[in-house]
Amino acid sequence: MSDADTTAIWLWLAIIASGLYHGINPGMGWPLAVSAGLMEKSPRALATALLPLSAGHLAAMLLVLLPFALLITLVKWQHQIQIAAAIIVIAFGLVRLVDRRHLRALVRIPPTRLAFWSFAVAIAHGAGLMLLPIYLGLCATSAAHGGHAAAARVIDQDLAMALLVAFIHTAAMLGAGGLLAWLVYRYLGVRFVARSWFNLETVWAVSLILVGGAALALNVAAWR
Protein backbone atom coordinates (compact mmCIF):
# COMPACT_ATOMS: atom_id res chain seq x y z
CA MET A 1 0.00 0.00 0.00
CA SER A 2 1.41 3.37 -1.04
CA ASP A 3 1.69 6.44 1.16
CA ALA A 4 -1.11 8.06 -0.87
CA ASP A 5 -3.39 5.08 -0.17
CA THR A 6 -2.64 5.19 3.56
CA THR A 7 -3.27 8.94 3.66
CA ALA A 8 -6.56 8.53 1.79
CA ILE A 9 -7.74 5.87 4.27
CA TRP A 10 -7.04 8.14 7.22
CA LEU A 11 -8.77 11.05 5.53
CA TRP A 12 -11.89 8.96 4.84
CA LEU A 13 -11.89 7.85 8.48
CA ALA A 14 -11.71 11.54 9.44
CA ILE A 15 -14.75 12.24 7.23
CA ILE A 16 -16.71 9.51 9.03
CA ALA A 17 -15.46 10.59 12.47
CA SER A 18 -16.48 14.21 11.84
CA GLY A 19 -19.93 12.98 10.79
CA LEU A 20 -20.28 10.96 13.99
CA TYR A 21 -19.08 13.97 15.96
CA HIS A 22 -21.64 16.25 14.33
CA GLY A 23 -24.30 13.60 14.86
CA ILE A 24 -23.85 13.36 18.63
CA ASN A 25 -23.84 17.13 19.02
CA PRO A 26 -27.37 18.14 20.10
CA GLY A 27 -26.79 21.49 18.43
CA MET A 28 -27.14 19.76 15.04
CA GLY A 29 -30.76 18.93 15.77
CA TRP A 30 -31.39 15.37 16.96
CA PRO A 31 -33.30 16.63 20.07
CA LEU A 32 -35.82 18.10 17.62
CA ALA A 33 -36.39 14.60 16.25
CA VAL A 34 -36.94 13.36 19.81
CA SER A 35 -39.41 16.18 20.38
CA ALA A 36 -41.30 15.29 17.20
CA GLY A 37 -41.53 11.66 18.30
CA LEU A 38 -42.75 12.56 21.77
CA MET A 39 -45.30 15.09 20.55
CA GLU A 40 -46.87 12.65 18.11
CA LYS A 41 -46.12 9.62 20.30
CA SER A 42 -44.71 7.82 17.31
CA PRO A 43 -41.21 6.58 16.45
CA ARG A 44 -42.14 7.15 12.81
CA ALA A 45 -42.39 10.88 13.51
CA LEU A 46 -38.89 10.75 14.98
CA ALA A 47 -37.51 9.06 11.87
CA THR A 48 -39.40 11.45 9.61
CA ALA A 49 -37.87 14.47 11.38
CA LEU A 50 -34.35 13.10 10.90
CA LEU A 51 -34.67 13.22 7.10
CA PRO A 52 -35.02 17.02 6.66
CA LEU A 53 -32.38 17.56 9.35
CA SER A 54 -29.99 15.43 7.31
CA ALA A 55 -30.98 17.11 4.05
CA GLY A 56 -30.25 20.55 5.47
CA HIS A 57 -26.89 19.40 6.83
CA LEU A 58 -25.98 17.87 3.46
CA ALA A 59 -26.87 21.10 1.64
CA ALA A 60 -24.65 23.08 4.03
CA MET A 61 -21.71 20.71 3.38
CA LEU A 62 -22.10 21.05 -0.38
CA LEU A 63 -22.37 24.85 -0.18
CA VAL A 64 -18.88 24.94 1.31
CA LEU A 65 -17.25 22.12 -0.67
CA LEU A 66 -18.47 22.72 -4.22
CA PRO A 67 -16.84 26.15 -4.77
CA PHE A 68 -13.50 24.70 -3.70
CA ALA A 69 -14.08 21.74 -6.03
CA LEU A 70 -13.97 24.29 -8.85
CA LEU A 71 -11.06 26.28 -7.41
CA ILE A 72 -8.86 23.21 -6.96
CA THR A 73 -8.71 22.85 -10.76
CA LEU A 74 -6.20 25.70 -10.68
CA VAL A 75 -3.44 23.16 -10.15
CA LYS A 76 -0.54 25.58 -9.88
CA TRP A 77 -2.36 27.37 -7.03
CA GLN A 78 -3.27 24.16 -5.22
CA HIS A 79 -1.12 24.69 -2.12
CA GLN A 80 -2.11 28.34 -1.84
CA ILE A 81 -5.79 27.37 -2.00
CA GLN A 82 -5.32 24.70 0.67
CA ILE A 83 -3.38 27.11 2.90
CA ALA A 84 -6.09 29.77 2.50
CA ALA A 85 -8.77 27.21 3.36
CA ALA A 86 -6.85 26.14 6.49
CA ILE A 87 -6.51 29.76 7.62
CA ILE A 88 -10.27 30.29 7.12
CA VAL A 89 -11.01 27.23 9.28
CA ILE A 90 -8.63 28.38 12.04
CA ALA A 91 -10.06 31.92 11.99
CA PHE A 92 -13.62 30.65 12.24
CA GLY A 93 -12.65 28.35 15.11
CA LEU A 94 -11.10 31.28 16.98
CA VAL A 95 -14.25 33.35 16.44
CA ARG A 96 -16.41 30.52 17.79
CA LEU A 97 -14.08 30.13 20.77
CA VAL A 98 -14.27 33.82 21.69
CA ASP A 99 -17.88 34.57 20.73
CA ARG A 100 -20.33 31.92 21.96
CA ARG A 101 -23.46 33.84 21.00
CA HIS A 102 -25.88 32.30 18.54
CA LEU A 103 -27.38 34.26 15.70
CA ARG A 104 -30.83 35.57 16.59
CA ALA A 105 -32.00 34.68 13.11
CA LEU A 106 -31.69 30.99 14.00
CA VAL A 107 -34.22 31.40 16.80
CA ARG A 108 -36.74 32.88 14.40
CA ILE A 109 -36.77 29.79 12.16
CA PRO A 110 -39.88 27.76 13.08
CA PRO A 111 -39.27 24.13 14.16
CA THR A 112 -41.51 22.95 11.31
CA ARG A 113 -38.87 24.04 8.78
CA LEU A 114 -36.33 21.44 9.88
CA ALA A 115 -34.31 21.28 6.66
CA PHE A 116 -33.80 25.05 6.54
CA TRP A 117 -33.04 25.14 10.27
CA SER A 118 -30.45 22.38 9.92
CA PHE A 119 -28.85 24.13 6.94
CA ALA A 120 -28.64 27.46 8.79
CA VAL A 121 -27.25 25.91 11.98
CA ALA A 122 -24.59 23.94 10.10
CA ILE A 123 -23.47 27.08 8.25
CA ALA A 124 -23.47 29.19 11.43
CA HIS A 125 -21.38 26.60 13.30
CA GLY A 126 -18.91 26.07 10.46
CA ALA A 127 -19.73 22.39 10.10
CA GLY A 128 -18.79 22.38 6.43
CA LEU A 129 -15.53 24.18 7.14
CA MET A 130 -14.41 21.24 9.27
CA LEU A 131 -14.65 19.02 6.18
CA LEU A 132 -12.83 21.43 3.88
CA PRO A 133 -9.16 20.61 4.69
CA ILE A 134 -9.97 16.88 4.70
CA TYR A 135 -11.70 17.14 1.32
CA LEU A 136 -8.79 19.07 -0.20
CA GLY A 137 -6.41 16.43 1.15
CA LEU A 138 -8.43 13.70 -0.57
CA CYS A 139 -8.28 15.65 -3.83
CA ALA A 140 -4.51 15.83 -3.47
CA THR A 141 -4.17 12.07 -2.92
CA SER A 142 -6.44 11.43 -5.91
CA ALA A 143 -4.27 13.67 -8.07
CA ALA A 144 -1.18 11.78 -6.90
CA HIS A 145 -2.62 8.63 -8.49
CA GLY A 146 -3.92 9.90 -11.82
CA GLY A 147 -2.39 13.31 -12.39
CA HIS A 148 -4.21 16.25 -13.94
CA ALA A 149 -4.62 15.27 -17.57
CA ALA A 150 -7.31 17.79 -18.48
CA ALA A 151 -9.25 20.53 -16.74
CA ALA A 152 -12.62 18.94 -17.53
CA ARG A 153 -11.52 15.63 -16.03
CA VAL A 154 -10.25 17.35 -12.90
CA ILE A 155 -13.55 19.20 -12.44
CA ASP A 156 -15.51 15.95 -12.79
CA GLN A 157 -13.27 14.15 -10.29
CA ASP A 158 -13.34 16.89 -7.69
CA LEU A 159 -17.08 17.50 -7.97
CA ALA A 160 -17.68 13.78 -7.56
CA MET A 161 -15.32 13.75 -4.58
CA ALA A 162 -17.19 16.68 -2.99
CA LEU A 163 -20.50 14.86 -3.38
CA LEU A 164 -19.07 11.63 -1.98
CA VAL A 165 -17.49 13.39 1.01
CA ALA A 166 -20.72 15.24 1.80
CA PHE A 167 -22.89 12.12 1.50
CA ILE A 168 -20.62 9.89 3.61
CA HIS A 169 -20.25 12.57 6.27
CA THR A 170 -24.02 13.14 6.39
CA ALA A 171 -24.70 9.39 6.54
CA ALA A 172 -22.39 9.10 9.57
CA MET A 173 -24.08 12.12 11.16
CA LEU A 174 -27.53 10.64 10.53
CA GLY A 175 -26.47 7.31 12.04
CA ALA A 176 -25.03 8.84 15.21
CA GLY A 177 -27.78 11.43 15.68
CA GLY A 178 -30.53 8.97 14.84
CA LEU A 179 -29.22 6.40 17.29
CA LEU A 180 -29.02 8.98 20.08
CA ALA A 181 -32.49 10.29 19.27
CA TRP A 182 -33.92 6.76 19.39
CA LEU A 183 -32.18 5.92 22.70
CA VAL A 184 -33.42 9.12 24.33
CA TYR A 185 -36.93 8.66 22.93
CA ARG A 186 -37.23 4.97 23.76
CA TYR A 187 -35.16 4.43 26.90
CA LEU A 188 -33.33 7.41 28.42
CA GLY A 189 -35.91 10.22 28.33
CA VAL A 190 -35.35 13.94 27.86
CA ARG A 191 -34.28 14.37 31.48
CA PHE A 192 -31.14 12.39 30.69
CA VAL A 193 -30.14 15.03 28.15
CA ALA A 194 -30.78 17.89 30.57
CA ARG A 195 -28.84 16.25 33.40
CA SER A 196 -26.07 14.34 31.67
CA TRP A 197 -25.18 16.18 28.48
CA PHE A 198 -22.27 18.58 28.28
CA ASN A 199 -21.69 21.67 26.21
CA LEU A 200 -19.76 20.92 23.02
CA GLU A 201 -19.27 24.55 21.95
CA THR A 202 -15.68 24.75 23.22
CA VAL A 203 -14.83 21.30 21.86
CA TRP A 204 -16.30 22.31 18.49
CA ALA A 205 -14.26 25.52 18.29
CA VAL A 206 -11.03 23.82 19.37
CA SER A 207 -11.55 20.99 16.88
CA LEU A 208 -11.91 23.53 14.05
CA ILE A 209 -8.65 25.17 15.09
CA LEU A 210 -6.86 21.80 15.33
CA VAL A 211 -8.11 20.59 11.93
CA GLY A 212 -7.18 23.88 10.29
CA GLY A 213 -3.81 23.99 12.06
CA ALA A 214 -2.90 20.48 10.96
CA ALA A 215 -3.87 21.23 7.37
CA LEU A 216 -1.92 24.49 7.42
CA ALA A 217 1.23 22.84 8.78
CA LEU A 218 1.11 20.01 6.22
CA ASN A 219 0.55 22.32 3.26
CA VAL A 220 3.19 24.84 4.28
CA ALA A 221 5.70 21.99 4.62
CA ALA A 222 4.70 20.56 1.21
CA TRP A 223 4.83 23.97 -0.44
CA ARG A 224 8.41 24.47 0.67
Q: How far apart are CA 50 and CA 30, in angstroms?
A: 7
pLDDT tens track for 52-61 = 999 999 999 9
pLDDT tens track for 17-26 = 999 999 988 8
CA distances in angstroms from 60 to 18, 54, 63, 102, listed in the order given? 14, 10, 5, 17
Q: Given this model, what pLDDT does residue 207 score? A: 86
Instruction: Categorize the per-residue pLDDT at 198 as very low, low, confident or very high, splitting at 50, 70 and 90.
Output: low
Domain ranges in the chain?
3-223
